[in-house]
């Protein structure tokens, strides 16, 4: 169907407009479907959230992200919305012309059970026709615009039935006709290979189809928990997703405490809440019930890495790669392990090996680029990111790109990259909000927006601090930095006071503290932190590239200190 100047295929999840051709997420298209069913009608944010996600599963930020994605795909530009209009303090209204009927199969299910997404018949993906010209498509003057809704079922029913019969014949049975065991197996494969396009929503659809008829199916409850955690970690860090996943995992364990998958799912949930001790106990139990399970090996690696248990991490990964040599996630973890240990050459070689096994995994490109950047090969890093974006546009790739552009002083381009990262489903990632705020702060026309972005980053960090768990000191440093950027020197110093600098081995800790002290006007303390970086044997690369420290680098005391430290090192030799 045509919506304004855009052509939309709801079944294939495709939108083509003057802005390009976009493969859409199912929930984003659900938002568009509700708007299409109610053209020229103000739909409140609450109504949209309720109809698409359900009260439990939705949220304002998820809706805002969906509207942003739709506007981009439909061809709207900032400040000139010709398809979806914002009604301040109310909601949104579809104002574009419509000249075709929405497929009656694409109707939202009742949201009483938010776990069961709309079931759609799968059709072959046909390319959308290219527009002949740039003029908007309009209905013939003598015809009234068609109304949308279930009224068209009577007209199209026969054609739909024939289409379903043909699709089933050529493409195999729809989800409902798959055996339960086949659905479980396929769902877990999607969880395992979660970086593939649409793998996570497909897994959720498969598990939901089982739970719709068998809500007490322990394995499906556990599988849904794992799929929700994948969405939480890879698409959108919405705490509601993790809460829902834990509820599913608890249900699975209650239904069958001797099911390995149930123990794994609950272990994942408590792991991401920061309870590593309980998570490892659950993984030990799962190992007894199902030795060498791929999901346990993956989880053990994560827990050990989060606790900087380097030897244990390498041992688990050595075993995992021997058992599952084609599973690139383990190479990804191994490369990251070498990265954490500053073994950048080994990390680079590992990521390149992983890409040779699976060159359609955007996560690997992001990791390889970060490794190149750490070796001062920023130009190569940007090229690797561009290669990854050709595979798939992800928030991680855009965030990396923004970071590299920011380090080169390209603040406007960096801000655009960070904005794209947020649009890809990272609205709960405090690092991206902070990165965006930092970029805004160096763009004169965007400085007023920097404060709001830092506020959002601070809210997200504070929520993490309130939860407790491991690595809270890093969060204190982040909170101190964001408060400093917001001009709250007293609060910044209060958070710094929570950090124990004794035994610190990471240059990043001192660099962050140096930035905070410099921003709040305590130059002597900033120089003290800088001196600790040099004394600990780290390079000054982070200091030399940091825009917050431009004035410090011009201070004569900075140069005198570097000279003194250099002479001290020479005398020691």
Are residue 189 and residue 101 in the same domain, yes or no?
no
Are residue 183 and residue 254 in the same domain, yes or no?
yes
Mean pLDDT for 541-545 is 71
For residue 494, give its domain range. Answer: 473-572
Instruction: List, for residues 468-483, the tens digit of each pLDDT value.
Output: 765 577 889 999 999 9
Are residue 145 and residue 222 in the same domain, yes or no?
no
Are residue 67 and residue 145 in the same domain, yes or no?
yes
Specify the pTM.
0.64
* Residue 127 pLDDT > 80: no
What pLDDT, on a 0 to 100 scale, did the predictor assign at position 338?
95
Last residue of a domain, one of 231, 265, 291: 291
Does residue 233 belong to any structural domain of this protein? yes
Q: Are 21 and 36 in contact (CB under 8 A)?
A: no
Instruction: List, for residues 198-228, the tens digit of each pLDDT value.
Output: 899 999 999 999 999 999 999 999 999 999 9
Mean pLDDT for 34-57 is 82
Give the CATH number of the domain where residue 48 resides: 1.10.10.10
Last residue of a domain, one of 120, 142, 171: 171
**Counting beta carbons within 10 angstroms of the beta carbon of residue 263, is it exposed (0 to 12), middle (13 to 18) or buried (19 or more)?**
buried
* Residue 403 pLDDT > 60: yes
Hey, what are 361's tokens?
Answer: 């995994």
Are residue 558 and residue 512 in the same domain, yes or no?
yes
Q: Average per-residue pLDDT in the chain?
A: 82
- Long-range (24+ apart) CB contacts under 8 A made by 115-120 are 115/208, 115/211, 115/224, 116/208, 116/209, 116/211, 116/212, 117/26, 117/27, 117/201, 117/204, 117/205, 117/208, 118/26, 118/30, 119/174, 119/175, 119/176, 119/205, 119/209, 120/11, 120/26
Q: How many CA atoms lie within 13 A of 213 on its CB side?
A: 8
What percentage of the chain carries pLDDT values higher than 70? 80
Does residue 61 belong to any structural domain of this protein? yes
What pLDDT, on a 0 to 100 scale, did the predictor assign at position 530?
84
Are residue 211 and residue 254 in the same domain, yes or no?
yes
| 243: Cα separation from own chain's centroid | 17
Last residue of a domain, one of 144, 171, 198: 171
**Counting beta carbons within 10 angstroms of the beta carbon of residue 126, is it exposed (0 to 12), middle (13 to 18) or buried (19 or more)?**
exposed
Does residue 93 belong to any structural domain of this protein? yes
Are residue 252 and residue 278 in the same domain, yes or no?
yes
Are residue 9 and residue 149 in the same domain, yes or no?
yes
Q: Are 252 and 219 in contact (CB under 8 A)?
A: yes
Cα separation of 13 and 36, whole Å?
A: 15
* Residue 86 pLDDT > 90: no
Does residue 357 belong to any structural domain of this protein? no
Q: Is 143 helix (H, G, I), strand (E, B) or coil?
A: coil
Q: In the structure, what pLDDT confidence band is assigned to residue 232 with cuts at 50, 70 and 90?
A: very high
Does residue 91 belong to any structural domain of this protein? yes
- Per the structure, the count of domains in the chain is 3
Give the CATH number of the domain where residue 269 resides: 1.25.40.10
Are residue 152 and residue 200 in the same domain, yes or no?
no
User: Whose CA is closest to 92, among 134, 16, 36?
Assistant: 36
In which residue are the tokens 């709960």 written?
428
């Amino acid at each position: 169907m045509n919506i304004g100047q855009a052509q939309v295929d709801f079944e294939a999840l495709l939108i083509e407009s003057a802005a390009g051709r976009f493969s859409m997420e199912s929930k984003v298209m659900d938002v568009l479907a509700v708007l299409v069913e109610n053209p020229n009608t103000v739909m409140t944010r609450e109504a949209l959230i309720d109809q698409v996600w359900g009260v439990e599963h939705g949220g304002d930020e998820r809706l805002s992200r969906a509207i942003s994605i739709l506007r981009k795909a439909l061809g709207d530009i900032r400040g000139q919305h010709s398809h979806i209009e914002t009604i301040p303090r109310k909601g949104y209204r579809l104002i574009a012309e419509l000249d075709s009927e929405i497929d009656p199969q694409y109707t939202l299910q009742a949201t009483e059970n938010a776990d069961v997404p709309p079931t759609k018949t799968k059709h072959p993906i046909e390319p959308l026709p290219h527009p002949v010209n740039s003029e908007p498509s309009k209905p013939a003057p003598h015809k009234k615009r068609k109304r949308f809704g279930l009224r068209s079922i009577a007209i199209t029913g026969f054609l739909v039935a024939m289409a379903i019969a043909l699709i089933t014949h050529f493409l195999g049975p729809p989800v409902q006709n798959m055996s339960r065991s086949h659905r479980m197996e396929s769902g877990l494969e999607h969880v395992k290979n979660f970086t593939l396009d649409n793998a996570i929503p497909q897994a959720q659809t498969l598990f939901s189809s089982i739970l719709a008829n068998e809500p007490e199916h322990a394995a499906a409850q556990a599988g849904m928990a794992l799929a929700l955690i994948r969405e939480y970690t890879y698409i959108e860090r919405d705490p509601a997703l993790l809460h829902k996943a834990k509820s599913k995992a608890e249900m699975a364990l209650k239904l069958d405490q001797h099911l390995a998958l149930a123990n794994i799912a609950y272990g994942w949930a408590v792991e991401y809440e920061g309870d590593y001790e309980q998570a490892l106990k659950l993984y030990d139990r799962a190992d007894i019930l199902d030795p060498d399970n791929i999901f346990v090996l993956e989880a053990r690696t994560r827990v050990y890495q989060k606790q900087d248990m380097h030897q244990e991490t390498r041992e688990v990964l050595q075993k995992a790669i021997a058992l599952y040599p084609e599973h690139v996630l383990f190479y990804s973890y191994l490369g990251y392990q070498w990265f954490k240990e500053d073994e950048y050459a080994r990390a680079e070689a590992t990521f390149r090996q992983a890409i040779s096994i699976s060159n359609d995994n955007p996560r690997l490109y992001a990791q390889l680029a970060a490794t190149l950047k750490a070796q001062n090969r920023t130009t190569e890093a940007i090229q690797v990111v561009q290669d990854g974006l050709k595979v798939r546009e992800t928030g991680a790739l855009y965030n990396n790109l923004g970071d590299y552009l920011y380090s080169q002083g390209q603040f406007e381009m960096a801000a655009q990259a960070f904005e794209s990262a947020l649009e890809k489903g990272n609205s709960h990632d405090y690092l991206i909000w902070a990165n965006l705020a930092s970029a805004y702060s160096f763009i004169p026309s965007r400085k007023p927006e920097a404060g709001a972005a830092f506020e959002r980053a601070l809210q997200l960090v504070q929520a993490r601090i309130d939860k407790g768990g491991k690595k809270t000191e890093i969060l204190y440093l982040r909170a101190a930095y964001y408060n400093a950027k917001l001009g709250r020197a007293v609060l910044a110093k209060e958070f710094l006071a929570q950090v124990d600098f004794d035994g610190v081995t990471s240059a990043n800790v001192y660099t962050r503290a140096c930035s905070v002290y410099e921003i709040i006007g305590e130059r002597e303390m900033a120089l003290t932190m800088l001196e600790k970086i040099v004394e600990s044997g780290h390079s000054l690369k982070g200091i030399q590239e940091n825009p917050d420290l431009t004035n410090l680098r011009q201070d004569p005391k900075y140069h005198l200190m570097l000279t003194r430290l250099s002479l001290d090192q020479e005398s020691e030799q």
